[in-house]
Structure 1
């Protein structure tokens, strides 16, 4: 059994993520310095050092670091990649009425959404819609249709929706005009 408190494990995990981000940034910088030195050719180390405002020795360290790195994939880092993936997934969603998104936002704000939701987030969100009391659903929102929409989403689409709802960014979600003529945007 792990006696380390959850807050301490999470704080250490956040520290490790920060260190990984700094390492990725240093690797990326080293690659670009190496590219610049190569483009300048003879005297490139000195020219790069002048432009960067660092010593030639620092440029040499960057070159050594770059030589030890695997060829870059040119994919963005994990956070940016996930953000772009979510944007692509949200763009494929059929629009819902703005009030439907608001109901889902209310659910996400009031529900503990944790890693257990990774397996079937659309179904779990649909179950939360099903569990709403009729008084919690605004007039004009069909709870059965809303739950059905959640169930129809792919895993990635549902996670993208939950992400947008969790941060309160309903503008990222495709909305049709509500009966009153306003949209979620």
Structure 2
């Protein structure tokens, strides 16, 4: 599974973006949850990765938050697992990727949000999955971003959730990781 992003991608949001979700949002996944990954999964991130957050970031959670996990949750990792982080990590997306959000972004979630996962869900990935991102990626968020979660949030997971990772898993990160958070009101 290869992912390349080439060329000019400009996702700009200007002005007021208000994504409100009112009422009760329920998500049920019934059956068995089996997340198996077979074979070799390599992720290369080379170069310089900078993350800037400027302005006011307000992540508020109001009301009752109930994160319950019931039943059996097993995680197996068999084979070679190599999580190396060396030097500088850069993320390139070939071409110009400009994801700017300007103005007021208000993502409010009101009411009760319940998530149940029960029964059998089999997401198997076999073979080699490589992801390369080359070029310049500028993910700047300017202005005020507020996130409110009000009311009852119930994320319940029922039943058995199994995750197997078999074979060679090599998550190498080379280079420098920069995470810069500028708290400037704009």
State the TM-score, normalized to the length of structure 1: 0.17
State the TM-score, normalized to the length of structure 2: 0.17
Of Structure 1 and Structure 2, which has the larger fraction of its residues in strand? 2
Larger radius of gyration: 1
Of Structure 1 and Structure 2, which has the larger fraction of its residues in helix? 1
